[in-house]
Chains A and B, each alone.
Chain A
Amino acid sequence: MPAKVVVLGGGVGGTLAANLLAKELGSDAKVSVVDPTGMHHYQPGYLYVALGQANGRWLVRDERTLLRREVDLIIEQAVRVHPEAGTVQLERGGSLEWDYLVIATGARLVHDQIPGLVEGSHEFYSLEGAQRLREALRRFEGGRLLVGVAGVPYKCPPAPVEFVFMVDEYLRKRGIRDKSEVMLLSPLNRAFTIESASKVIQPIMEQRGIGLTTFFNVEEVDPSAGTVSSLEGEKAEYDLLVLVPPHKGQQVVTESALADGPGWLPTDRHTLEVEGQERIFAIGDATNLPISKSGSTAHFEAPVVASRIASLVRGTAPRENYGGRVMCFLETGNRKATVLRFDYEHPPAPPQPNNVWHAAKWMFNRLYWETVPQGRLPENLPMPIPTGRSES
């Protein structure tokens, strides 16, 4: 009997893990992906949609076209995992059996956690949100544009920083930068979570005249007054407000009593097993790991999970471990970008932004559909060993 492997979630991590498992195990396993929409989004592209640099069409593909033929795609909402029975219950009443389960359900946006957020702010964390923001930016004729974070952790930590750099360029091109104030409201005492990256970013913000308010953790938006207030007791006026919405884990994870309060799965940082569950693995945004919630993280985790499950199916000891590897581009506008490469032991040492990394990001954007979900991107390219010193 082939082993039954069920993968919850058809994003970067789930799709890649399913394809690698099917390829590696052949007839020794039956691999199924369960996804509520059956559509795969390239989420890093939302930023470009918001700024009018791309339309939404190239960001969405049918998940079926990304999976190997032998992988089943079940378009259903998983509602509950029963670890002891080895089943997952589906919304329309069915149930799937599994010998090994991969939870790659990602994060969900919980807009209603912050009063006034829906009415008073824009976001670029969904395709619809990015399209609405694009229209709002087109109508913007100058004023106070604030960009902030309404909850941590959130996906793609560089995104708000990238947005302020790119919107600065956008406003200059439209000839209204001198009538506009651009300000980043950071939840920390620096522009970015990682100190070494902040040291590269903050001087560029200063050069561009982009303001920085530190320790501003958004608590409430008042759309009628046009103000946003922070947990720290500050209030800021805005004409256009862009906030990263709060994130939580998916309901299936919470309902299954596998996760902590906000719904993140307690996950072993090396084996990627869900704690206390030998046959359940977690990938990507769904985990509670103290690293970036990003497609890149899921991309590097998926081969580890696939390899460990393949070993278990074959009755051999799993060997592959995840070392915390992440690689993110960070756009700084004006056709320049830098890159953050790091792992558990090495913080990033980002180079000064240049047009080579910007070109690399665009090449990646274009190559994504044909490489990442299928596991065709060579593992060691372009990812030299990080050389940063250990810093906080």
Chain B
Amino acid sequence: MTTVNIDRSIDARGMPCPGPLMSLIGAIREGEVGTVIEVLSSDEGSKTDIPAWITKAGHEMVETVEDEGFTHFIIRKAR
């Protein structure tokens, strides 16, 4: 697991696509530059949607970690 300090964690497990991504976008809107956000998602679509949005929006994917039936996405707001 990551050693990065997580400022905000969003448990979007059980939420269908595009809920986890939309929750992340909401958190990025609210957070300061440098904020580290963790999203937990059990939706398969998140594995493509979240990294695609991070790239487009210019933020940093710190880490993705597979867990039992869900994924941890750890993102730093870069701008």
Q: A110 vs B44: C-alpha distance in the bound complex, in angstroms?
A: 32
**1/0 per residue A173-215: CB within 8 Å of B?**
0000000000000011100010100000000000000000001
Which residues of B sit under 8 angstroms from A232, Cβ to Cβ? 53, 56-58
Does the CB pair A189–B52 fall under 8 Å?
yes
State whether B25 touches A290 (Cβ < 8 A).
no
Chain A neighbourhood of B49, CB < 8 A: 188-189, 392
Assess whether B15 is interfacial by the CB under 8 Å rule.
yes
* Chain B proximity of A349: nearest CB distance (Å): 15
How many positions in chain A have a CB within 8 Å of any CB in the partner chain?
18
| Bound-state Cα–Cα, A217 to B43, Å | 21
- Whether B18 lies near A193 (C-beta < 8 A) is yes
Whether A231 pairs with B28 at a CB distance below 8 angstroms is yes
Assess the A215–B57 pair: CB atoms within 8 A.
yes
Q: Counting CB contacts under 8 A, is A116 at the interface?
A: no
* A-side contacts of B53, CB under 8 Å: 189, 215, 232
CA distance A167 to B18 in the complex (A): 26
Closest to B52 in A: A189
Nearest Cβ in chain B — how far from A266, in angstroms?
12
2-22 of chain B: CB within 8 A of chain A:
15-19, 21-22
Check A257 for interface membership: any CB of B closer than 8 A: no
- Chain A residue at minimal CB-CB distance from B21: A188
CB pair B17 A215 closer than 8 Å: no
Q: Which of A153, A195, A231 contacts B17 (CB 8 A)?
A: A195
Let me know if B26 and A152 touch, CB within 8 A.
Answer: yes
Q: Taking chain B's interface residues, is the majority helix, strand, or loop, or is none over half, making it mixed?
A: helix
Cα of A231 to Cα of B33 in the assembled complex, Å: 13
Which residues does chain B contribute within 8 Å of A315, judged by CB atoms? none
Q: Is the CB of B45 within 8 A of A392?
A: yes
Q: Which of A195, A217, A262 contacts B25 (CB 8 A)?
A: A217
- Binary contact readout A354-392 vs B (1 if CB under 8 angstroms, 0 otherwise): 000000000000000000000000000000000000011
In the complex, are the beta carbons of B45 and A195 less than 8 A apart? Answer: yes
Residues of A within 8 A of B45 (CB): 195, 391-392
Q: Mostly helix, strand, loop or mixed at chain A's interface? A: loop
Among A187, A231, A392, point to the contact of B43 (Cβ < 8 A): A392
Residues of A within 8 Å of B29, CB to CB, are 217, 219, 231
- B44 to nearest A CB, angstroms? 5
| Residue A276 interfacial (CB < 8 Å) | no
Is A233 in the interface zone, CB < 8 Å from B? yes
Chain A residues near B43: list those with CB within 8 A. 392
- Residue of A153, A188, A347, A392 near B44 (CB, 8 A) is A392
CA distance A193 to B15 in the complex (A): 13
Give CA–CA (A215, B48) in the complex, Å. Answer: 13
Smallest beta-carbon distance B53→chain A, Å: 6
Tell me the complex Cα distance, A262–B22, Å: 13
**Contact (Cβ within 8 A) A290 B44:** no
- Min CB distance A26 to B, Å, is 39
Closest residue of B by beta carbon distance from A262: B26
Q: What residue of chain A has the Cβ atom nearest to residue B57's Cβ?
A: A232
Query: How far apart sit A153 and B18, CA to CA, in the bound complex (Å)?
Result: 10
Question: CB-CB < 8 A to A347: which residues of B?
Answer: 16
Residue of A nearest to B58 (CB): A233
Interface residues of A in 307-365 (CB under 8 A from B): 347
The proximity string for A residues 280-324 relative to B, scoring 1 for CB distances below 8 Å and 0 otherwise, is 000000000010000000000000000000000000000000000
Given A188-B21, A231-B25, 10 other A-B contacts at CB below 8 A? A187-B22, A188-B49, A189-B52, A193-B18, A217-B25, A217-B29, A231-B28, A232-B56, A347-B16, A392-B49
On B, residues with C-beta under 8 Å from A are 15-19, 21-22, 25-26, 28-29, 43-46, 49, 52-53, 56-58, 79
Q: Which 8 A-B pairs have the closest CB atoms?
A: A392-B45, A392-B17, A232-B57, A290-B19, A215-B56, A290-B15, A152-B22, A232-B56
A/B interface sample: 26 pairs, CB < 8 A: A152-B25, A152-B26, A153-B22, A188-B18, A189-B49, A189-B52, A193-B18, A195-B17, A215-B53, A217-B25, A217-B29, A231-B28, A231-B57, A232-B53, A232-B56, A232-B57, A233-B58, A233-B79, A262-B26, A290-B16, A290-B19, A391-B45, A392-B16, A392-B43, A392-B44, A392-B46
